[in-house]
Chain A
Amino acid sequence: MPGDLSRLLNALGLIAVDTVLALALIDQLWFRDLPCPLCILQRGAFFAAGCGLALNLVFGPRPSQYGVTILSAAAGTAISLRQMLIHIAPGSPGYGNAIFGLHLYTWAFIAFALMIVGCAVLLLDDRQFARSDPWSTRLSVLPLTAFALLFVLAVGNVISTVLICGAGLCPEVPAGYLIFNDNLRLTDLAQSP
């Protein structure tokens, strides 16, 4: 597989990760579907996996960087599987909105599994690692967009998580944005003389 094709596939993979994270943020902000602690950790695992793809885009494909994505996806698989098992008991309605009959953590499990399989398939071709000419560090539009979007989403999730959980651990079932309601009472401070 030529290096350019490898870079294109990594960029497309990163765009897919960006799309998942953007949809999760839209679901949170637009449909007011606040993420639970395990949901937040699954988002974190998507970012960790995206770091491996971003490394491949900038430094060229390396087996260790595919390892970054595979290990991160394995962690994400464990977290989403745990959440599926929490809600597998009869009578449990699951957590959050369902899309096409599956909850977001079930879709996350499928996505992490596909990520592991995709990286394993990409690792099968050794030609991408035996590149004689130097790897260009200049990114074209698609990889640059994918990279920049992941960074913006990471910063957005830092802010979102601080607003939901404050400085400590998140409540098991978040009722609202904690930093506005319980911790700092910013609204009360604003109304006080």
Chain B
Amino acid sequence: MMSLPFLLFACGLGATWLRQRGAAMGFWIAGLVVLLVLFRVHMTDVLNIAL
């Protein structure tokens, strides 16, 4: 799951190399959305301190 953004960005770079600009932008948008969803999931990671 957490490797999905890297996979999508790698696909985007591959599409860029193949001169497929639309596909590259599509992979980037999908990667950013997944990144933000994962950020939402991990945003409430607890702080492990003794007060």
A interface residues, Cβ below 8 angstroms from B: 36-38, 40-41, 43-45, 47-48, 50-52, 54-55, 58-59, 68, 71-72, 75, 78-79, 82, 86-87, 89, 91-92, 137, 147, 150-151, 154-155, 157-159, 161-162, 164-165, 167-170, 172-173
**Pairwise interchain contact B19-A157, C-beta atoms closer than 8 A:** no
**Pairwise interchain contact B5-A47, C-beta atoms closer than 8 A:** yes
Known pairs A44-B31, A86-B47, A89-B49; A169 contacts B41 (CB<8 A): yes
Shortest beta-carbon distance from B39 to chain A in Å: 5
**Pairwise interchain contact B28-A37, C-beta atoms closer than 8 A:** no
Known pairs A54-B16, A169-B41; A151 contacts B1 (CB<8 A): no
**Pairwise interchain contact A44-B6, C-beta atoms closer than 8 A:** yes
**Contact with A41, one of B17, B21, B39, B51 (Cβ below 8 angstroms):** B39
**Pairwise interchain contact B45-A48, C-beta atoms closer than 8 A:** no
**Contact with B48, one of A37, A43, A68, A173 (Cβ below 8 angstroms):** A173
**Pairwise interchain contact B2-A47, C-beta atoms closer than 8 A:** no
Tell me the interface secondary structure of chain A in the complex: helix
Tell me the interface secondary structure of chain B in the complex: helix
Residues of B within 8 A of A158 (CB): 3, 6-7, 10
Residues of A within 8 A of B32 (CB): 48, 71-72, 75
B7-43 with Cβ < 8 A to chain A: 7, 9-10, 12-14, 16-17, 19, 21, 24-25, 28, 31-32, 35-36, 38-39, 41-43
